[in-house]
Structure 1
């Protein structure tokens, strides 16, 4: 018990000594940036319009038909149609449910 109190007193004394020797105000002045931080450059002239265009293009790709690789005969279909087809037909080459281990 006495050892614990002794350690506690030493820790408190060191904390008080550190506060006296290195006051927070002096540390704040030392750590303050010498120059005001620079603002970042505006990389987009109209971010909300850019986001709207991005979302519109994304939605068009998710809900429309198009070629992924025309030479290879790979196309994309609307996501809802693809999900219905996967639910109906399954994944080609995938084992049927209950036929074996995963």
Structure 2
């Protein structure tokens, strides 16, 4: 309630707090903490002399897995491009060959709806130098 509403009533009695006792209690607690910290410091100094030292820094060696990443990437991309744009045997005994990706896409597009039908197995290879399933 604001003071205007109280009118002629008496102000409530202030609480009886022993300020000296509170200050003495806080000072005693803080000195107990300080003494405990000093005792712990000396205990660590005597019992574990290396506990308060700064640890030495050990730098790890840099990994030498890839010394020139740009050249490695260029080499891998070149190998992939040559693999996708050239002719090569995968397994000559089975008649499996690799053809350029553009040629393979043209062959699949030319087959239309039957592009992914199963291949008919041939009984004898007509030309051992020419892989099966690859048409000129």
TM-score (norm 2): 0.39
Quote how far apart the aligned CAs of 1:43 are. 0.6
Who is 1:88 aligned against?
A: 110
Q: Find 2:82's aligned residue among 60, 64, 72.
A: 60
Who is 2:73 aligned against?
A: 51
**How many residues matched?**
61
Moved over 4 A (4+): 34-37
Who is 2:32 aligned against?
A: none
Q: What secondary structure is seen at the aligned counterpart in 2 of 1:42?
A: coil
Task: Give unpaired runs (5+ residues) of structure 1.
Answer: 1-33, 95-102
Greater helix proportion: 1
Separation in structure 2 between the aligned mates of residue 44 and residue 74 of structure 1, nearest angstrom: 35
Separation in structure 2 between the aligned mates of residue 77 and residue 49 of structure 1, nearest angstrom: 27
Who is 1:78 aligned against?
A: 100
Q: What secondary structure is seen at the aligned counterpart in 1 of 2:118?
A: coil
Task: Give unpaired runs (5+ residues) of structure 2.
Answer: 1-55, 120-136
User: Aligned pair 1:69/2:94, yes or no?
Assistant: no
Separation in structure 2 between the aligned mates of residue 78 and residue 43 of structure 1, nearest angstrom: 33
Quote how far apart the aligned CAs of 1:38 are. 3.4
Q: What secondary structure is seen at the aligned counterpart in 2 of 1:57?
A: helix
TM-score (norm 1): 0.51
Query: Greater Rg, structure 1 or structure 2?
Result: 2
What do residues 16-74 of structure 1 show as CA deviations (whole Å, max 9, x unaligned)? xxxxxxxxxxxxxxxxxx96773541212211111111000000001111111111110
Query: How well do the aligned residues superpose, as a CA RMSD in angstroms?
Result: 2.2
